[in-house]
Amino acid sequence: MTEMSYLDGNMLDGPLRELFAVDLSAATGRCQSCGMVGPMAALHVFSHAPGLVARCPACAEVMLRLVRAPDRAWLDLRGTTFLQVPMPAQQPFPRPL
Ligand SMILES: [Zn+2]
Of 41-45, 74-78, 92-96, minimum mean pLDDT range: 92-96
Residue 50 CA, ligand 1 centroid: distance in Å: 22
Residue 4 CA, ligand 1 centroid: distance in Å: 18
pLDDT computed for residue 2 by the predictor = 62
Whether this model's pTM surpasses 0.85 = no
- Residue pair 66/51 in contact by the 8 Å Cβ criterion: yes
Given CA atoms 78, 66, 68, 22 in this order, what sign does their dihedral have?
positive
- Separation of alpha carbons 31 and 57, rounded Å: 10
Decide if pLDDT at 60 tops 60. yes
Residue 29 CA, ligand 1 centroid: distance in Å: 10
Residue 25 CA, ligand 1 centroid: distance in Å: 17
Residue 56 CA, ligand 1 centroid: distance in Å: 5
- Residue pair 75/83 in contact by the 8 Å Cβ criterion: no
Segment 50-56 shows an average pLDDT of: 93
Cα angle 32, 48, 23 (rounded to 5 degrees) comes to 55
> What does 30-93 look like in DSSP terms, one character per residue?
EETTT--EEEGGGSEEEEEESEEEEE-TTT--EEEEEEEETTEEEEE-TTEEEEE---PPPPPP
Residue 30 CA, ligand 1 centroid: distance in Å: 8
Q: SS3 of 9, please? A: helix
